[in-house]
Amino acid sequence: MHIIISAAISIDGYLDDASDERLMLSSPEDFKAVHELRSSCDAVLIGAETLRRDNPSLTARHNPEAKQPKKIVLTRSGDLPADSRFFTEGNAEKIILMPDIALAPDHLPAQTVQCGVKIDDIVKNLEDIGIKRLMIEGGAQIQRLFIQSGQINELRLSISPRIVADDTCPRFPIKDAFTARCAPVKQEMLGDNYVTWYRYD
C-alpha cells in the first residue's frame, strides 16, 4: 500500500488552536489541491477525535465529476456521532476501523472492519479490502502512529503563516516525521501556504 500523510500546520508547528472552532490553516488554493489529492486515493483515513472535533466530510469537492474516496475512521470504542458530516455527506463508502475485541456499532451507517491494534495489522486489513493508495488526514496521534510504524511513503506538509503559540494545543510530530529516510522532492506556494512534498526511502 502507498500511504500519504497530508497535514496543514501553523508556521510554529501547530495543527489547531484552543478554540471550539476548527482552525482553518489552508488557503483556498491549498484546499483545492487537497481535494484533488483525495480523489487520487482509494481512501482517506482519520481518527475518531478528528471526526468529533473537526466534523470533516472528507469529500473531494474540487470537481463534480471527481472520484470520491472511501472514508475511514479509526476508533477504539465506536462512540461516534451518527449526524457527523463523515456519515451524512457524500455517497462514498464509509468504513469504521476498530479493534477485534470492540463491539461493532450497528447503529451507524457504515461498514465495520475489525483489525489488530498495531499499524502493520491495520494496513494489512485495509489491503485485504482493496485499499492500494491511502491518504491520512488524522490528528497528531494518528500521524505519529503511522509515521513511527515506518509505513509512510509520502508526506505533504502545508505551512500557513498563522501563529498559534500555545503549548496546550496539538502539534505536528516533527521529530518523528523528519528522519534520514525523509527527503523533500517538491515545493510550491498555494496562496499564502508554502507546501512541501517529502518522500520516504
Query: What was the pLDDT predicted at 89?
Result: 92
Domain membership flag for residue 199: no
Write down the residue that cell numbers 483545492 correspond to.
32
Residue 140 belongs to a domain with what CATH number? Answer: 3.40.430.10
pLDDT-based confidence at residue 178 (cuts at 50, 70, 90) = very high
Query: What was the pLDDT predicted at 104?
Result: 60
Domain membership flag for residue 116: yes
Cell numbers at 91, concatenated:
455517497
Query: What was the pLDDT predicted at 112?
Result: 83
Q: How many domains does the chain have?
A: 1
Domain of 32 in residue numbering reads as 2-193
Per-residue pLDDT tens digits for 141-175: 999 999 999 999 999 999 999 999 999 999 999 99
Domain membership flag for residue 201: no
CB atoms within 10 A of CB 110: 19
Per-residue pLDDT tens digits for 64-87: 788 899 999 999 888 899 999 999
**Do 152 and 133 meet the contact criterion of CB atoms below 8 Å apart?**
no
CB atoms within 10 A of CB 13: 14
Instruction: For residue 92, give the nearest of 135, 154, 124, 152 by alpha carbon.
Output: 135
Domain membership flag for residue 60: yes
What value does the mean pLDDT take over residues 10-14? 97
CA 34 to chain centre: 11
Domain membership flag for residue 140: yes
Domain membership flag for residue 200: no
What value does the mean pLDDT take over residues 93-109? 75
CA 109 to chain centre: 20
Domain membership flag for residue 198: no
Domain membership flag for residue 104: yes
Q: How far apart are CA 174 and CA 24, in angstroms?
A: 20
Q: How far apart are CA 137 and CA 194, in angstroms?
A: 18
